[in-house]
């Protein structure tokens, strides 16, 4: 249990009732709906939806397969480009990617083709007796992958497909990364992350070692000596700080810590509940935190952001989810002070009102207070510097708190690649991380085979 919130009460509803509130956010299509929706696709040549997909799925091809009742073919088309297509179909912000680019997305049609739901339909209804992709002959090359999140799993699968042996080093008890520990429970239900993991591992040639922490019982220098290549899929595991007095008081917590606890909870009725809470931030994590607290039974949930709605990282779709769950979105307000009660616990927060002046965010001189039993920080994640504190790690070029990589996901160290949230390329999205892993695997494979030919 989260020590910082142990003083808070538990939800009044029982576990069964709460579990119902965390059921699937987007109900899947049935066969009839999938048939009708797939018929809307125009199967565009040079389709803009494909260009908008970070993992480069051939969207018209898989939708055409669904239309012709070839679900198996549709699934294989998706998985050949994105081995984690099932989770991406559930969590990917399709409303600002493929579906926004859909040629039917204009005022006369009113709605784009529901690409995300069709992708989910194909993968949920495919029936594979064996893994759909067969490993190439074993090459004898070994690659270390640090981190078993979407980027790491994608890279490992593609490398194993090419015949290389892969060892994934994972700090946590379960693999899956963000899909297992960081996504709102109502987006990935029924232990989906673990079921997808099992499917990925069916290809063979992948070993996962848990409890392996880079910078603790694992070092980049040792991995470089022991393996033919290394892929770093470290994510961003440290939460940014507000820099305010009383930030460590009981009742102040990183949103990611609570979401992780919620996703692993066997009994939701035993989670600490803030009757009144404040969520700081404007991205998907902030929305996930606020909505889940509301669904647990919080009476008042305020999501507060220092800028305006257009600057929020969360899409309009995500904002609408928050509003539908009675979350109040407050903008142009910057945290100023954590307010404590007589016992030294959170009782609220003081904010400074803000505005833009000549393009710069500035306080207006006005202040206001919000009462709260807990404050959840969702102001962004940063790199855990301890992870790369050894000699090799110190040599990695950085861009701020991210590892610098080129278009082939190569770092400044020969034989070391990186991808996912720990790099500066692209958006911090699951689908982007999957693509990074795939690109890195292709580059690693090409380099390893070049070395073999040269020998």
338: DSSP letter: E
Q: Say yes or no to pLDDT of 157 above 80.
A: yes
Banded pLDDT at 452 (limits 50, 70, 90): low
Place of tokens 């494909």: 50
Q: Say yes or no to pLDDT of 1 above 60.
A: no
What integer is the mean pLDDT of 111-118?
Answer: 96
Structural contact between residues 439 and 158, judged by C-beta atoms closer than 8 angstroms = no
Q: What percent of the chain has a predicted confidence (pLDDT) above 90? A: 87
Arithmetic mean of pLDDT over the chain: 94
Task: State whether residue 209 is helix, strand or coil.
Answer: strand
Does 142-237+383-454 match 239-380 in CATH topology? yes
**Which of the given ranges, 236-240, 264-268, 391-395, has the highest pLDDT on average?**
264-268
Q: Give the model confidence (pLDDT) of 379-423 as tens digits.
A: 988 878 888 888 888 889 998 889 999 999 999 999 999 999 999
Measured in degrees and rounded to the nearest 5, phi and psi for residue 355 equal -160, 170
Q: Give the model confidence (pLDDT) of 334-385 as tens digits.
A: 999 999 999 999 999 999 999 999 889 999 999 999 999 999 999 988 878 8
Q: Give the model confidence (pLDDT) of 32-68 as tens digits.
A: 999 999 999 999 989 999 999 999 999 999 999 999 9
| Domain map (residue ranges) of the chain | 31-125, 142-237+383-454, 239-380
Class for the domain spanning 239-380: alpha beta
What integer is the mean pLDDT of 112-140?
Answer: 95
DSSP line for 47-93: -HHHHH-TT---HHHHHHHHHTT-HHHHHHHHHHH-TTHHHHHHHS-
Distances (CA, A) of 376 to 52, 250, 292, 304, 369: 33, 11, 12, 10, 16
Tell the CATH topology of 142-237+383-454: FAD/NAD(P)-binding domain (3.50.50)
CATH number of 31-125: 1.10.1060.10, 3.40.50.10470, 3.30.365.10, 3.60.21.10?
A: 1.10.1060.10
Q: In the sheet where 333-340 sits, what is the strand order?
A: 333-340, 346-357, 360-371
Q: Give the model confidence (pLDDT) of 141-155 as tens digits.
A: 999 999 999 999 999
Write out the two tokens for 29. Answer: 């299509």
Residue 384 has a pLDDT of: 80
Q: What percent of the chain has a predicted confidence (pLDDT) above 70? A: 98
Distance CA 132, CA 202 (A): 9
Distance CA 408, CA 419 (A): 10
pTM of the model: 0.94
Residue 451 has a pLDDT of: 67
């Amino acid at each position: 249990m989260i020590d910082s919130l142990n003083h808070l009460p538990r939800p009044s509803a029982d576990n069964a009732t709460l579990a119902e509130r965390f059921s699937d956010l987007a109900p899947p299509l049935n066969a009839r709906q999938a048939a009708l929706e797939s018929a809307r696709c125009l199967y565009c040549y040079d389709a803009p939806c494909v260009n908008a997909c970070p993992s480069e799925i051939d969207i018209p091809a898989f939708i055409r397969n669904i239309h012709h009742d070839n679900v198996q073919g549709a699934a294989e088309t998706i998985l050949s480009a994105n081995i984690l297509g099932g989770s991406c179909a559930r969590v990917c912000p399709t409303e600002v990617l493929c579906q926004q680019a859909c040629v039917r997305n204009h005022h006369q049609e009113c709605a784009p083709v529901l690409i995300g739901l069709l992708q989910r339909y194909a993968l949920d209804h495919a029936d594979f007796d064996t893994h759909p992709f067969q490993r190439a002959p074993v090459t004898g090359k070994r690659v270390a992958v640090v981190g078993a999140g979407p980027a790491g799993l994608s890279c490992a699968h593609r490398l194993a497909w090419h015949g290389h042996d892969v060892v994934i080093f994972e700090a946590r008890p379960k693999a899956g990364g963000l899909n297992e520990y960081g996504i709102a429970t109502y987006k990935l239900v029924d232990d989906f992350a673990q079921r997808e993991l099992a499917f990925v591992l069916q290809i063979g040639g992948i070993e996962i070692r848990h409890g392996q922490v880079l910078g603790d019982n694992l070092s980049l220098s040792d991995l470089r000596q022991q393996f033919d290549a290394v892929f770093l899929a470290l994510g961003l595991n440290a939460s940014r700080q507000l820099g305010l007095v009383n930030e460590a008081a009981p009742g102040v917590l990183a949103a990611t810590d609570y979401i992780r606890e919620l996703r692993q909870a066997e009994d939701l009725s035993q989670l600490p509940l803030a009757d009144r809470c404040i969520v700081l931030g404007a991205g998907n994590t902030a929305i996930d935190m606020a909505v889940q607290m509301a669904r647990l039974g919080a009476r008042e949930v305020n999501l507060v952001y220092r800028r305006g709605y257009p600057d929020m990282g969360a899409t309009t779709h995500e904002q609408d989810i928050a509003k539908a769950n009675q979350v109040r979105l407050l903008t142009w307000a910057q945290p100023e002070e954590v307010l404590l009660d007589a016992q030294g616990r959170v009782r609220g927060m003081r904010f400074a009102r803000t505005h833009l002046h000549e393009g710069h965010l500035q306080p207006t001189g006005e202040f206001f207070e919000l009462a709260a039993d807990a404050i959840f920080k969702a102001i962004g994640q940063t790199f855990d510097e301890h992870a790369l504190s050894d000699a090799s790690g110190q040599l990695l070029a950085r861009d701020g708190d991210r590892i610098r990589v080129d278009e082939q996901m190569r770092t400044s160290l020969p034989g070391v690649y990186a991808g996912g949230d720990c790099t500066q390329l692209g958006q911090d999205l699951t689908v982007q991380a999957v693509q990074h892993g795939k690109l890195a695997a292709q580059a690693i494979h090409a380099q390893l085979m070049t070395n073999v030919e040269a020998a």
